Amino acid sequence: MGRVLENLEPKEVFRFFEELSEIPRPSYHEKAVSDYLVAFAKERGLEYYQDELWNVIMIKEASEGYEDQEPVILQGHMDMVCEKLPGVEKDMEKEGLDLEVDGDFVRAKGTTLGGDDGIAVAYALALLDSDTLKHPRLEFVCTVSEEVGMEGAQVIDCSMLKGRRLLNMDSEEEGTVLASCAGGGCAEVKLAVERKACSWEKVQVHVHGLVGGHSGVEINKGRAASQELMGRILRGAKKATDLRLVAFENGTKDNAISREGRLVLAVEDKAAFLAALERIETEVRAEYIVVDGDIHFDTEEIALPAGVPDTAAPLSEASTKTVITLLTSLPQGVQRMSDNVEGLVETSLNWGVATLSEKELVMRAAVRSSVKTAKASLCEKISWIAAENGASYRISGEYPAWEWVRESKLREKMSAIYREMFGKELQIEAIHAGVECGLLAEKIEHMDAISMGPDIFDIHTPGERLSISSTKRMYDLIVKIIETKD
């Protein structure tokens, strides 16, 4: 049976992309794909390093005539965000993706595609595999757990690298390269709760149909977040009837704008609650009709999440009130726009995950800012709100901002080549999202870096799609950059 992508160009890139797609690779489950990379290096006699976290570095010495050229570091990450549509039964920790070609796009049926950042790995493997490419020393740095706090990049040993020019391939817009990014981390708030028996009727609400998206790149698009909507449901419905929270679950990734969540409530007056729910849904749909027009609040058969036994009593009145207060008080979304770069978000946070067990509510958010003090201030605000409501706070997985380098030979070279190849100017931008360049810059002295990639749309969602034609153009650009001598 032929491969799905075998007729796409560049063949070598899509061949490796399809092989990668057959290997499950969610964050914290990268051993199989890491071993695949090591096997690739062994088969080709490349120098390689694999650490205890499964980060991999491969090195290919310069081809004849390029020994005096500056080495080039190729960089990407091997893990992917695993999201799927409701009803899709695929176990993304154990099963590969089901690829399909739709016009100019490659998709995965019912799930995220992993173009972020499988395309970087496929690009690098195609370059390292080539017998015809003329190149300086190539050093491929492939990290793990990028999507959950860049944990691989935080600990990877780069001492064997000789290059100072780094081509990060973890961007998703052709014709635009990044030269700076925000720093961030994962904020976590935990609240101990008490439960108290209550005879009121229970009802479950499923909030779904939201677009979601990347909590950095798409946080400024005004899309709804299911956790914020569930807080609104609780506030609004409580004005119509008394209620107690039984179960609460939201999202799966702190760096993805949450697309769905579930509430189980004990309500004093079910009819009044349902009337309030209908009214709130109508209001929300009208408010978000342009940017998030398919929001639904459905009542369904009650199914308590893991960690909440069927016999669990509702939260007490006090605990229910505290949860509602936290959902109301904790900020969500864009906090400040940049004064220096037009249209750039400076500071934001996204509450992407929440779980309520029998005894504890846990909420996690991705915090981002290109200004160190602004990030610290936002974290302080979260900590204050948590403490005033009897909750604990901590931040983990912090990573630094990638600061703008005023003079960049790599940017100049890439801009000139792009202009020559495509007849237009390359756009140089900063981004409100984490890129591993910030961490690597702390390890590689005097690093000159850019981040680029082909067009990928709706990353971190099941609607993710990779442009075939853009993939080829950007690969041709990378080849030209590598082969062009200084």
Residue 43: CB atoms within 10 Å:
9
- pLDDT class of 397 with cuts at 50, 70, 90: confident
pLDDT of res. 149:
79
CA atoms within 13 A on the CB side of 427: 9
Interval 442-454 mean pLDDT: 94
185-399: what fold? Alpha-Beta Plaits (3.30.70)
Q: 194-229 pLDDT, tens per residue?
A: 999 999 999 999 999 999 998 988 999 999 999 999
DSSP 8-state symbol, 325: H
pLDDT at 261 over 60: yes
Q: Give the separation between CA 295 and CA 207, rounded to whole angstroms.
A: 7
Given 30, 79, 281, 436, the catalytic residue = 79
Catalytic residue status for 464: no
pLDDT above 90 coverage of the chain, percent: 87
Q: Hey, how many other C-beta atoms are within 10 angstroms of the C-beta on 99?
A: 20
Residue 125: which H helix or E strand, with range?
helix 115-129
Element holding 153 (H helix, E strand): helix 151-155
For residues 329 and 331, give the distance between their C-alpha atoms in angstroms, rounded to a whole number.
6
DSSP conformation class of 103: T
| Residue 217 φ then ψ, to 5° | -65, -35
Please say if 104 is a catalytic residue: no
* DSSP state for residue 290 in the 8-state scheme: T
Report whether pLDDT(341) > 90.
no
Q: Which of 107, 79, 163, 151 is nearest to 462 (CA)?
A: 107
* pLDDT 10s digits, 47-73: 999 999 999 999 999 999 999 999 999
- pTM (global) more than 0.85: no
For residues 196 and 314, is the Cβ–Cβ distance under 8 A? yes
User: For residue 314, what pLDDT is reported?
Assistant: 96
Band (431; pLDDT cuts 50, 70, 90): confident
pLDDT above 90 (res 342): no
- The set of residues, in sequence order, having a beta carbon less than 8 Å from that of 119 and lying 6+ positions away, is 13, 17, 76, 169, 453, 454, 456, 466, 471
**pLDDT (mean) for 238-256:** 95
* Active-site annotation holder among 18, 83, 139, 146: 146
pLDDT over 80 (residue 1): no
Domain 11-181+401-483 has CATH 3.40.630.10: yes
Chain centroid offset of residue 137 CA: 31
Q: Which of 93-107, 337-351, 356-370 has the lowest mean pLDDT?
A: 337-351
Domain boundaries, the chain: 11-181+401-483, 185-399
Where are the alpha helices (H) located in 239-316, listed in sequence order? Answer: 270-287
**248 with 354: CB under 8 angstroms?**
yes
Please enumerate in sequence order all residues whose Cβ is within 8 A of that of 43, keeping only pairs 6 or more positions apart, or say none: none
Give residue 21's pLDDT. Answer: 98
Average model confidence (pLDDT) across the chain: 95
Taking residues 400-410, what's their average pLDDT? 85
- What's the whole-number mean pLDDT along residues 36-53? 98
How much is the average pLDDT of 419-448? 92
What is the helix (H) or strand (E) element at residue 31, kind and residue range?
Answer: helix 31-43
Model pLDDT for residues 142-159, shown as the tens digit of each residue: 999 999 878 999 999 999
Share of the chain above pLDDT 70, in %: 100
- Tell me whether strands 201-208 and 261-267 are parallel, antiparallel or unpaired: antiparallel
